Amino acid sequence: MSDNIFSAVLTFSLLAAGTIAVGSEMVAPRHASKPNAVAMLPTVTVVGKRVAVADAVTLPTVVVTGHRPVLTAAAGDTGRDSHVE
């Protein structure tokens, strides 16, 4: 029972602390920011070529080989003839 009470108190404390943190940021005075230095970079020209997209994509052939184990009895077989003609 004490772990349930501790969990509730911890949850409430975290919610209260979060509310106080958000509220204090909302009412905090804002200071004017300092002007930032601006660097002028030279103009860059990008030259590129577009590669034509193929109409059809050919994938390599994949051959899967394997075998499935053969079951000797059906899952619901009770031993009687269960086939219907």
Q: What DSSP string describes the chain? A: -HHHHHHHHHHHHHHHHHHHHHHHHHHSPPPPPPPPP--PPPP------PPPPPSS-PPPP------PPPPSS-TT--SS-----
For position 9, what pLDDT does the model report?
95
Domain for residue 14, yes or no?
yes
* pLDDT mean over 43-58: 79
For position 74, what pLDDT does the model report?
58
From its phi and psi, is residue 79 left (phi > 0), alpha (psi between -120 and 50) or beta? left
Domain for residue 44, yes or no?
no
If one counts the domains in the chain, the total is: 1
Domain for residue 5, yes or no?
yes
Domain for residue 49, yes or no?
no
Domain for residue 34, yes or no?
no
Domain for residue 13, yes or no?
yes
What residues make up the domain containing 12?
Answer: 1-27
Query: Model confidence at 47, in pLDDT bands (50, 70, 90)?
Result: confident
For the ranges 2-16, 18-32, 46-60, the maximum mean pLDDT occurs at 2-16
pLDDT for residue 49 is more than 90:
no
As a whole number of angstroms, the distance between CA 26 and CA 18 comes to 12
pLDDT for residue 70 is more than 90:
no
Sequence-ordered list of residues with C-beta below 8 angstroms from that of 74, at least 6 positions apart, any chain: 82
Domain for residue 53, yes or no?
no
Domain for residue 32, yes or no?
no
pTM over 0.75: no
For position 53, what pLDDT does the model report?
72
